[in-house]
Amino acid sequence: MKNKEFILKEQWQITKHLVRWLLLVLPVAVITGLLVALFLWTLDLATEIRWQFSWIIFLLPLAGVFITVLYKYFGKGTELGNNLIIDQIHLNDNNGVPLRMTPLIIFTTVVTHLFGGSAGREGTAVQVGGSISAFFSKVFNLNQEDNTFILMTGIAAGFGAVFGTPVSGAIFALEVLAIGRMKYNALLPCLMASIIADVTCSLCGIEHTKYHIDSVTTITTILPNIDIDVKLMFTVASAGVLFGLISILFVQLSDFIKKTATLYLKNKLIIALTGGILVISISYLLGTLDYLGIGVKSINTDGISIVSAFKQGGVNYFSWFWKLLLTVITLSMGYKGGEVTPLFFIGAAFGNTFASICGGPIDLFAGLGFIAVFAAATNTPIASFIMGIELFGSEYMPYYAIACFVAYYFSGHKGIYHSQKIAVSKANILK
Amino acid sequence: MKNKEFILKEQWQITKHLVRWLLLVLPVAVITGLLVALFLWTLDLATEIRWQFSWIIFLLPLAGVFITVLYKYFGKGTELGNNLIIDQIHLNDNNGVPLRMTPLIIFTTVVTHLFGGSAGREGTAVQVGGSISAFFSKVFNLNQEDNTFILMTGIAAGFGAVFGTPVSGAIFALEVLAIGRMKYNALLPCLMASIIADVTCSLCGIEHTKYHIDSVTTITTILPNIDIDVKLMFTVASAGVLFGLISILFVQLSDFIKKTATLYLKNKLIIALTGGILVISISYLLGTLDYLGIGVKSINTDGISIVSAFKQGGVNYFSWFWKLLLTVITLSMGYKGGEVTPLFFIGAAFGNTFASICGGPIDLFAGLGFIAVFAAATNTPIASFIMGIELFGSEYMPYYAIACFVAYYFSGHKGIYHSQKIAVSKANILK
């Protein structure tokens, strides 16, 4: 029975592999979880302070200058952010991600939020996970292949902890590397990392915002005996197309502003200063500060936020566009933070507006926009679909799949992460 | 703005691609859905008849001879079943899957079930979807690449319709082709196919068995403020290892029986005859007919079935093994049907036993075994995880992920589909 022996040998190797990775992942995930908790706690504090002292936003241009100077002196080699980590994974390199990325990105993200920049948090968390894992890669003296693995677990840990969604955190780390293909090489190490980081973060007392979709239960399907409402399915697919196009607008506008600013303003300090002034001016023209900061909640009970987007009349028809514009200016002109939470805001607000105009349950379409614009902009349709289930429950999961997959197709081959490889063309366009 | 023009061109190409595929998929999915409905209806009838006239199982050996003769005269080139379809996708071929596969596999599967063979139904549904799609590939005169796509949509349609799980049906079709890698080339065409087929099948009045996991809500977590119970997580991971090993036992025992039978019995008719006699004899030694047929429900109120496995005391300690043995004999010795429903039975029964011995919520572990043994044997961890959510809801989804992913790792590099390529080694074992 040679065959049997070989099998047992294989299981033994798998066991060793997994135990080894549990030990390697443990410090990365625990420390990432702790730092993400610290980050989220500080972020909440910064938001509270800005709500209390709203004049603070007039200091945003100066904050931008400060961040730019900080990065000029200490940020060398970290400016690429998430793209740097994706690059290093593709290069099998373990020297490119410095540990100082962690304090730098946490500090500058909090500064951005404190003074009213419109930004997110996943980028920060992923960079923390990435730089902590790169640090341990050096400590453990890992070889190239293992280094790739540990960087992926860092992404999973950061993403899983910051949103409280461990399964989509793990899938995101596998899926984000290349468009159109998922390799399972670090499937379990990534799941371990995101669960451990999420548990650590939760143990620190971090609570994640809960969203609810429940109006759809009152829908009557036109066909008997089936759970899927065919008309709603087509409405969701149409919304998916628009979610994909919004993601293109986000990516293209970011590139356009970056290029234009570099072309005409040249100096990075002046770019940051101008960006800050633009953000303040636009906010005052709009007459609301609700599009600043993280945007999960608003200080006003009738304010505009991700949470309000799940309610009838919770946003204006162009809320999605103003959040998009302010975020793109903030992140393209020298301020720091993630893109994903603003993408949630943009998607949820647009979903709300779409449902108001085209008819459909507001909360369902807000939830669909939340995950589908993210799916489109990051090219991670399966992680986004799973995130929908983790955040909103499974009742409407076929609609999540339709919205995320359609948006993914329509966002083309460019996303917010320029370092993503194109592995498989969408719709056989690129040969 | 050349750039903008190019983008709009890309969206236009994507739109054409998707509309074209919706039209191509429509006849494949509708006809597959109808045929799967017919198949499931006939299967139910066959089960009812066997329950009414239990003496019918004595004809099983003759039924085996009949099936073998049928395949000898009409089955040329279809014997490989699901593997044939996977092969054709890898070969980019559109001539290898004959249309007569559909009537042959439906008829012989129903015969197998009528006379008491222990078998499933997903293999049949996938073969129906595969041969219907191959037929339309010829009708539409598709090129090699499109042929690959349409065969994948056939798998998705069959799988989605037969279990009423459209999202996991689509993911299964992408994931089953190669171990360790998922390519998104036919993501939306597969989703369209599985949803359309599922809706068609449901419109024909087919209802799928509902399973419930709810006892876990009473569990108190040992750590405050987190949803995940750490101790339960480790118990689930341990169970995952065993689920993976059971899948190996299934695959190895199938190979062993096939080889031994061919070596000693030589003639296919004698093999089928012997297989039938073995199945009847073992059932009589066990004193129950509950391990015969599809096994979703039992005729006796206190009988053993997939449904009973979700209840305390619903199975015996070795129920999983007897179902495994009878299924392996049935399917390796000339009878027809799928492997997946028996794998659900084996997994759910073992999960029940595991929870009784090691402590844990019975229904949760039955559900975990249901999806994880399937994940391990087919090397489709993500489709299985999603199927868990589609069948049991999302409340315990981190546990589904742990069980499916761990079982996937521990099942090694061989599964029930020999035509699967190995794209990425599990745990870096195969270089």
Interface probe, candidates A188, A213, A251, chain B, greatest B C-beta count within 10 A = A188
**How many Å apart are CA B194 and CA B165, to the nearest integer?**
8
The dihedral region occupied by B134, where left means phi > 0, alpha psi between -120 and 50, and beta the remainder, is alpha
The answer to whether the CB atoms of B402 and A145 lie below 8 A apart is no
Residue B401 above 80 pLDDT? Answer: yes
Mapping DSSP onto H, E and C, the string for chain B reads CHHHHHHHHHHHHHHHHHHHHHHHHHHHHHHHHHHHHHHHHHHHHHHHHHHHCHHHHHHHHHHHHHHHHHHHHHCCCCCCCHHHHHHHHHHCCCCCCCCCHHHHHHHHHHHHHHCCCECECHHHHHHHHHHHHHHHHHHCCCCHHHHHHHHHHHHHHHHHHHHCCHHHHHHHHHHCCEECEEECCCHHHHHHHHHHHHHHHHHCCCCCCCCCCCHHHHCCCCCCCCCCCHHHHHHHHHHHHHHHHHHHHHHHHHHHHHHHHHHHCCCHHHHHHHHHHHHHHHHHHHCCCCCCECCCCCCCCCCCCHHHHCCCCCCCCCHHHHHHHHHHHHHHCCCCCECHHHHHHHHHHHHHHHHHHHCCCHHHHHHHHHHHHHHHHHCCHHHHHHHHHHHHCCCCHHHHHHHHHHHHHHCCCCCCCCCCEECCCHHHCCC
pLDDT at A94: 65
**How many Å apart are CA A150 and CA A137, to the nearest integer?**
7
In A195-214, the residues whose Cβ lies within 8 Å of chain B are 195, 198-199, 202-203, 205, 207
Q: What is the mean pLDDT of residues B121-146?
A: 93
Q: Does B184 touch chain A (CB under 8 A)?
A: yes
Q: Tens digits of per-residue pLDDT, A320-354?
A: 999 999 999 999 999 999 999 999 999 999 999 99
Q: What is the mean pLDDT of residues A227-251?
A: 91
Q: Does A262 touch chain B (CB under 8 A)?
A: no
Range from A383-387, B55-59, B165-169, B293-297 carrying the lowest mean pLDDT? B293-297
Residue A140 above 90 pLDDT? Answer: yes
Pick the residue from chain A with its C-alpha nearest to B4: A252
Average pLDDT, chain A: 91
**How many Å apart are CA B240 and CA B346, to the nearest integer?**
13
Q: Does A9 touch chain B (CB under 8 A)?
A: no
Pick the residue from chain A with its C-alpha nearest to B405: A188
Range from A375-389, B207-221, B293-307 carrying the lowest mean pLDDT? B207-221
Q: What is the mean pLDDT of residues A275-293?
A: 95
The answer to whether the CB atoms of B166 and A428 lie below 8 A apart is no
Q: How close is the nearest chain B Cα to the Cα of A195, in Å? A: 8
Q: What is the mean pLDDT of residues B20-47?
A: 96
Q: How close is the nearest chain B Cα to the Cα of A288, in Å? A: 32
Q: Does A187 touch chain B (CB under 8 A)?
A: yes
**From the list B183, B195, B227, which residue is nearest A398 (CB)?**
B195
Q: Tens digits of per-residue pLDDT, B344-379?
A: 999 999 999 999 999 889 999 999 999 999 999 999
Residue A220 above 60 pLDDT? Answer: no
Q: Tens digits of per-residue pLDDT, B234-274?
A: 999 999 999 999 999 999 999 999 999 999 998 999 999 99
- Domains defined for chain B, CATH in brackets: 2-203 (1.10.3080.10), 215-428 (1.10.3080.10)
- What residues in B contact A145, CB-CB < 8 Å? 428
**From the list A4, A10, A252, which residue is nearest B429 (CB)?**
A10
- What residues in B contact A10, CB-CB < 8 Å? 412-413, 429
Q: Does B315 touch chain A (CB under 8 A)?
A: no
| Greater pLDDT, A222 or A41 | A41
Host H or E run for residue A262: helix A230-264
Q: Does B20 touch chain A (CB under 8 A)?
A: no
The answer to whether the CB atoms of A11 and B182 lie below 8 A apart is no
The answer to whether the CB atoms of B7 and A412 lie below 8 A apart is yes
pLDDT at A176: 93
Residue A376 above 60 pLDDT? Answer: yes
| Greater pLDDT, B224 or B360 | B360
pLDDT band at A67 (very low <50, low <70, confident <90, very high): very high
The answer to whether the CB atoms of B203 and A224 lie below 8 A apart is yes
Interface probe, candidates A19, A92, A165, A184, chain B, greatest B C-beta count within 10 A = A184
pLDDT band at A359 (very low <50, low <70, confident <90, very high): confident
The answer to whether the CB atoms of A413 and B10 lie below 8 A apart is yes
Interface probe, candidates B6, B14, B16, B400, chain A, greatest A C-beta count within 10 A = B14
